[in-house]
Amino acid sequence: MALILHAITFLCCANWLFGVAGIVFAVRAGHARDRGRPEQAETLTRYSWYCLGAAGVMVFVMLILSLVMLTQAGSWIEGIVGVQQW
């Protein structure tokens, strides 16, 4: 259970990092476009979409893992320690 929680925590942290990087690349692309450097703006825009896409995939995986963990946690704990129903 601790390993699963650590994995979900890692996904949350990586999701924030990729999201922030994607936003930074998008802002830098806008500045490059305003300064008349379309090649650099295109490259930064592409990097921005890569980072935001990775963040989106991580959010999706994190939600699926969270739902699996929330629905299966009882049976996992019951497999380790007997749970009595009152």
Closest CA to 10 of 68, 61, 73, 77: 61
User: What is residue 86's predicted lDDT score, i.e. its pLDDT?
Assistant: 66
| N- to C-terminal Cα separation, the chain | 25
**pLDDT of the chain along its 86 residues, tens only?**
667 767 777 777 777 888 889 999 999 999 999 999 999 999 999 999 998 888 888 888 878 877 887 787 767 666 666 667 66
Is the Cβ–Cβ distance between 72 and 40 less than 8 Å? no
Q: Is this prediction's pTM over 0.95?
A: no
Burial class (CB in 10 A: 0-12, 13-18, 19+), 75: exposed
User: What's the length of the chain?
Assistant: 86
